[in-house]
């Protein structure tokens, strides 16, 4: 089993959730998060950022105010090993615009899962 954590734009949550459900991934946790990538300095010179007015304004404001953090959404889902690539591909297909800020996906090994209600463990609990 693996834990997949995706950090995505706020406006992509509904489409990402719908795509994951359509692909067979019904279990999902979402949280509001704030953060920033490592490429804040000089972003106003990048053409993709200039084209995305909302992103450009947020990043420029961040630079002017001493590195303010940018609001994002964090999605977490637990999947079987054989389903990792399908889940990752689904997330990428919805979120990839070819622009800075498209997001990040982290895939982590998961040692154990326990369903509180029944006591089931492992893949049965997923």
pLDDT digits (tens, 9 = 90+) for 64-76: 666 667 889 999 9
Q: Note whether residue 61 is domain-resident.
A: no
Residue 36: pLDDT above 80? no
pTM reported for the whole predicted model? 0.76
In this structure, what CATH number is given to the domain that contains residue 105? 3.30.70.120
Expressed as residue numbers, the domain containing 112 is: 2-37+69-125
> What DSSP string describes the chain?
-EEEEEEE-GGGHHHHHHHHHHTT----EEEEEEE--S--TTGGG-HHHHH-HHHHHHHHHHHHTTSPPEEEEEEEEEE-GGGHHHHHHHHHHHH--SSTTS-EEEEEE----B-TTT--BGGGG-
Q: Note whether residue 17 is domain-resident.
A: yes
Q: Note whether residue 11 is domain-resident.
A: yes
Total count of domains within the chain: 1
Q: Note whether residue 59 is domain-resident.
A: no
Q: Note whether residue 50 is domain-resident.
A: no
Q: Note whether residue 44 is domain-resident.
A: no
pLDDT digits (tens, 9 = 90+) for 8-21: 999 999 999 999 99
């Amino acid at each position: 089993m693996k834990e997949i954590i995706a950090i995505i734009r706020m406006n992509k949550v509904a489409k990402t959730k719908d795509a994951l459900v359509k692909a067979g991934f019904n279990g999902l946790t979402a949280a509001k998060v704030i953060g920033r990538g490592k490429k804040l300095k000089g972003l106003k010179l990048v053409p993709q950022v200039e084209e995305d007015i909302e992103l450009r304004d947020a990043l420029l404001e961040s630079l002017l105010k001493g590195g303010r953090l940018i609001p994002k959404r964090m999605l977490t889902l637990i999947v079987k090993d054989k389903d990792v690539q399908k889940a990752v591909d689904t997330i990428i297909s919805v979120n990839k615009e070819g622009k800075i800020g498209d997001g990040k996906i982290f895939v982590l090994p998961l040692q154990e899962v326990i369903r509180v209600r029944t006591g089931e463990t492992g893949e049965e609990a997923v």
